[in-house]
Structure 1
Amino acid sequence: MDQTDNNTQIKQKYRPFILASVMLAMFVGAIEATIVSTAMPAIAADLGGFQLYSWVFSSYLLMSTVSVLIYGKLSDLFGRRPVMTFGMVLFLIGSILCGFAVSMEWLIAFRFIQGIGAGAVLPIATTIVGDIYTKEERAKIQGYLSSVWGISAIMGPAIGGLLVETVGWQYVFWVNIPLGILSLTGLWIFLKEDIEKKKRYVDYKGAAFLTATLTILLYLLVEGGVSVSWTSWIVLALIAAALMFLTFFIRHELTAEDPMMPFSIWKNRSIFIANVVSLATGVLLIGISSYLPAFVTGVMEQSARVAGFTLTAMSIGWPISAVVAGRLLIKIGYYRTSLIGGCALVTGAVFFVLMDPSYGPLWAAMSSFFVGVGMGLTTTSFIVSIQSAVPWNQRGAATAANMFMRNLGSTVGVALLGGILNSQLRSSFKESSLEEVRSFDVNAVNELLTARGRESLDPSVLDVLQQAMTTGLNSVYLVVFLFAAISLVLILFLPKNDRSS
């Protein structure tokens, strides 16, 4: 008992240092998202291959989505620190390689490596906080963690735009390296874990089934209707294979000794709805963060810094609302806090649907801000409620499951929305009255992404390309609105008497 009390006192003594290390790790993961989105127009213009634009995000999201559940479970078995270390090191190696990419294909390959590591960073960082703070403290601390998203996303687009315009887009990948090393140093010095030594069962078979399912699904969404006809036998065979692997995964997880995704936690209605809403908001979030910079740069003809500002607005709303959510959770409970967040998501999505190039970047920024408010309120509510509903030995898996669902939404979303955009662009080109444009492929919009490229185009061609991009992105934002509406409807089914205290 004395030893236990002593360990508790030591953990409490070092909590501020552990929290700082965790926040730094989250900063590394969070800034990667906004800084790369901001730099992507420049990267696509330099490396070419706009048709592969969505794969730069999809490859990263696919591996982080699959690995997040594995890392969450491994952290319950082997401890948070060693698993976080492995993931962060892999993430940093991938980041170094991305900066050396000489083609879009190589960049996508290196993003796979980066994504495998990224799956450990955010969920385990969040889980560590759940371990060292009490239920009552988590609402407040989650607000602090969400502020990291705001700080990183305010700095991310600004730094991304500055790096692109000065030293080059390669540095958007390299800027995280010293920060990641510093975070790991803090965790190894201050985070002490008492892990029971026994034989561990790792659900590799479940991970393999899930990886196969998601890989096939992602390929279908990205390439369906583009390089592969939806009516071809190849698509039918791939759909059948995806359903087969999904069935294998579910059956295996239900009978596994220690499953990667314990379905028992999904029996809790709050967890179930929170996870499904996270799936929907993942689609919404990636639809905005991936394609808004391309719209602001290519159609509104603004600089990379201005495009970054429109995303920054989302990240200003996110931390502000997350801090407020910490207080609202105690006063009005999970249900009302989440409901307010759902309304904000729908409001932001409506503004995106109504957006016109003539409205300028301020309209885009305002739309982003409302989405950020909604994300801050809902994500904070969900994480606090989920971590309070499960014991320590399931907290890593439960936290990872929620992030898995949001990542899955983003993975499916970037592929689905990328497919919609590419298909819409092809259709617009074919219907153009200009013979030159009718022969264009999707990569023609690369010229819109830089001022030099736009200046090289004939005014009539420039106008057609910008109209095609606007039409395509309007379709994307209609889908974004649909998922925002689905999120709000699902939130209505949360338990209404659920309080954080």
Structure 2
Amino acid sequence: MEHLSHKRKITIMMAIIMAMFFSAINQTIVSTAMPRIIAVLSGMEYYSWVITIYMLTSTLATVLVGKLSDIYGRKPFILTGIVIFMIGAFLTGFSKDIYQLIIYRGVQGVGAGIIMASVFTAVGDLFSPRERGKWTGVMMAVFGFSSVIGPTLGGWLVDNFAWKWLFWIFLPLGVVAFFMILFLFPKVERNKTEKIDYLGSFFLSLTIIALLLGFSWAGTKYDWGSFEILGLFAAAVLCLVIFIFVERQASSPVLPLSLFKNDIVTISNAVGFIMNAGMMGALIYLPFFVQGVEGISPTYSGYVTMPMSIAMVIMSTVIGRIITKTGKYKRFALFGLPIMIAGMLIMAFMNSVWLAVVAMIVFGLGLGLGMPIFSLTVQNAVKPTELGVATASSQLFRNLGGTIGIAVMGTIMTSSLARNMEKAASSGTGFDFDKIDPALAEQLAAFHNPEMLLDQPKLAELQSQLPADVQPIITQLIDTLRDALSSSLTTVFLAGTALVVIALILTVFLREIPLRTSNKMPESEQPQATELGAERV
């Protein structure tokens, strides 16, 4: 599609941006509201599962669609993704319990994975790697804009309306995006030389499912050393071995192993994996600090995260244009990751809302600098015929990192919180229920549950129903809960920081090659872009 006129490309990009914004806003709008939703549906122990199932299904959809879109084109998959996402969003609003919420969010994840894999690859079809720098910045800015208005709007909606409207309010936008893609996006003829790798897709899916279930259940539903968890990890390894064997024999593999002979692809995907594990695993618990520790409502909680998104939008837009102008990109990743690390360190030791805002600004600047780079490096290092599967591999490792990071950080959060509560009880800073009337102790038991901090209206209601002479006890209990939660979050943020440090170290070894000014890869560039051990730039 590189031959299309500039005007036609811009029109198509408007349709792509609309589809991406529809998917992105439906993700960000629930971020600040999710603690309240979990509290209403009762199921804090499944909090990470609501996020994990979304990441799991989107990951599967992303990697499977990558190769299929190379065969059939991007248009049918963008349309399919929008429809599935809309169905999932509509059903999520009818959730009666935490289990239905998890299932319907899984459906949404399928749609989101299809959309995200297709739209980023479509940009690669339209523009050369050199031009993609600018458009990658624009796409990041769109996602950042959704991150600006999404959390604040989500918090306001959950404070003033039924939470189901979080999932329904943007459904009309999905309809608009669907018809824009339908009429504006050109149809591409099927590549009849490629065949669908059913067997490889099957074993790749089994590998991902077993791996992510193992990490999601370990430390929560089952012990890390339990038969169930070890069995899942063993199954993941077995399926991976079979998958590798199948891919070696496949004429058109769903995930070509030759991609990983390319040092740029391998290092970029490794950095994306580790960076997302640290970033997502930590940031998903930021609302716990703002709402649980500081007692801020979901509405104002969105204002706390807004500066991060604004900083990311500005920085990614500016950096995208600079990359297109200069053709240089590695330096921005090397600048961005240390800034992200600084932001996460501030999160680890923040003790006020204003310090949380500072952390968000610093982290957003680093995110805008570093995040767009690693998709661009992958797309620039492969042949145009591998664009879809290469982009999908990048999305796959990012999603795997985010999903595993959330699961591991969830385990760290849960175990740390339990230790802190036990420590408070044994040190005497907690309250001894044995010293008061059993009937009153039963009433106060609810204030011994950290989940109570996330549903402030219910907390205030229960507190107002108790007599005045008990209020000092309640204050002591709430302070103990907040201290325990705050200490646990510090542990989570430090763990996330450590992972981003590892990502920075790997980035140092990333080989930088010139960004092509055409989608056609010259023969002279192919060996340099696809073989390990090439001379570093």
TM over 0.5: yes
The corresponding residue for 1:23 is: 17
Measured in 1, the distance between the counterparts of 2:495 and 2:516 equals: 33
Residues 94 and 436 of structure 1: CA distance in aligned 2, closer, same or farther (over 3 Å)? farther
Matched, 1:402 2:363: no
Query: How far apart are residue 70 of structure 1 and its match?
Result: 0.6
The amino acid of 2:510's aligned partner reads L
Matched, 1:173 2:167: yes
The corresponding residue for 1:383 is: 375
- Could you state the TM-score of these two structures normalised by the residue count of structure 2? 0.86
Measured in 1, the distance between the counterparts of 2:398 and 2:448 equals: 29
SS, match of residue 423 in structure 1: helix
Measured in 2, the distance between the counterparts of 1:196 and 1:214 equals: 28
Deviations 1:295-320 (A, max 9, x none): 10011111112211222222112222
Query: How far apart are residue 373 of structure 1 and its match?
Result: 2.3
The corresponding residue for 1:72 is: 66
Residues 173 and 27 of structure 1: CA distance in aligned 2, closer, same or farther (over 3 Å)? same
Q: Indicate conservation of the 8 Å contact 1:34/1:311, yes or no.
A: no
The corresponding residue for 1:4 is: none
Query: How far apart are residue 343 of structure 1 and its match?
Result: 1.6
Segment drifting more, 424-433 vs 168-177 = 424-433
Q: 1:134 aligns with which of 122, 128, 133?
A: 128
Q: Indicate conservation of the 8 Å contact 2:274/2:503, yes or no.
A: yes
Measured in 2, the distance between the counterparts of 1:218 and 1:419 equals: 13
Deviations 1:303-344 (A, max 9, x none): 112211222222112222212222342437122121111122
The corresponding residue for 1:480 is: 496
Residues 137 and 10 of structure 1: CA distance in aligned 2, closer, same or farther (over 3 Å)? closer
**Runs (5+) with no aligned partner, structure 1:** 1-6
Residues 254 and 344 of structure 1: CA distance in aligned 2, closer, same or farther (over 3 Å)? farther
Q: Indicate conservation of the 8 Å contact 1:68/1:123, yes or no.
A: yes
Measured in 2, the distance between the counterparts of 1:239 and 1:135 equals: 38
Deviations 1:330-368 (A, max 9, x none): 437122121111122211121112222xx22x2212212
Measured in 2, the distance between the counterparts of 1:254 and 1:352 equals: 45
Matched, 1:429 2:434: no
- Could you state the TM-score of these two structures normalised by the residue count of structure 1? 0.92
Q: 1:466 aligns with which of 482, 494, 501?
A: 482
Matched, 1:368 2:360: yes
The corresponding residue for 2:310 is: 316
Query: How far apart are residue 180 of structure 1 and its match?
Result: 1.7
Deviations 1:246-274 (A, max 9, x none): 22223322332211212222222222211
Query: How far apart are residue 441 of structure 1 and its match?
Result: 10
Residues 135 and 241 of structure 1: CA distance in aligned 2, closer, same or farther (over 3 Å)? closer
SS, match of residue 37 in structure 1: coil
Measured in 1, the distance between the counterparts of 2:446 and 2:195 equals: 50
Q: 2:407 aligns with which of 406, 415, 427?
A: 415
Residues 197 and 325 of structure 1: CA distance in aligned 2, closer, same or farther (over 3 Å)? closer
**4+ residue stretches of structure 1 with deviation over 4 A?**
7-11, 435-443, 496-501
Q: 2:30 aligns with which of 3, 25, 36?
A: 36
Deviations 1:373-406 (A, max 9, x none): 2222223222223222223321111111111111
Q: 1:338 aligns with which of 311, 324, 333?
A: 333
Q: Indicate conservation of the 8 Å contact 1:335/1:498, yes or no.
A: no
The amino acid of 2:476's aligned partner reads S
Matched, 1:444 2:449: yes
Matched, 1:258 2:255: no
SS, match of residue 166 in structure 2: helix
Query: How far apart are residue 500 of structure 1 and its match?
Result: 6.3
- The structure carrying a bigger helix percent of its residues is 1
The corresponding residue for 1:353 is: 348
Q: Indicate conservation of the 8 Å contact 1:221/1:419, yes or no.
A: no
The amino acid of 2:412's aligned partner reads I
Residues 241 and 452 of structure 1: CA distance in aligned 2, closer, same or farther (over 3 Å)? same
Measured in 2, the distance between the counterparts of 1:498 and 1:340 equals: 19
SS, match of residue 36 in structure 1: coil
What is the number of residues matched between the two proteins?
492
Measured in 2, the distance between the counterparts of 1:276 and 1:8 equals: 30
Measured in 2, the distance between the counterparts of 1:197 and 1:223 equals: 41
Measured in 1, the distance between the counterparts of 2:228 and 2:284 equals: 28
The corresponding residue for 1:273 is: 267
Measured in 2, the distance between the counterparts of 1:350 and 1:430 equals: 26
Q: Indicate conservation of the 8 Å contact 2:130/2:327, yes or no.
A: no
Measured in 2, the distance between the counterparts of 1:488 and 1:441 equals: 44
Measured in 1, the distance between the counterparts of 2:6 and 2:152 equals: 36
The corresponding residue for 2:195 is: 201
The amino acid of 2:495's aligned partner reads V
Measured in 1, the distance between the counterparts of 2:301 and 2:401 equals: 24
Query: How far apart are residue 239 of structure 1 and its match?
Result: 2.3
The amino acid of 2:492's aligned partner reads V
Residues 284 and 234 of structure 1: CA distance in aligned 2, closer, same or farther (over 3 Å)? closer
Measured in 2, the distance between the counterparts of 1:106 and 1:305 equals: 25
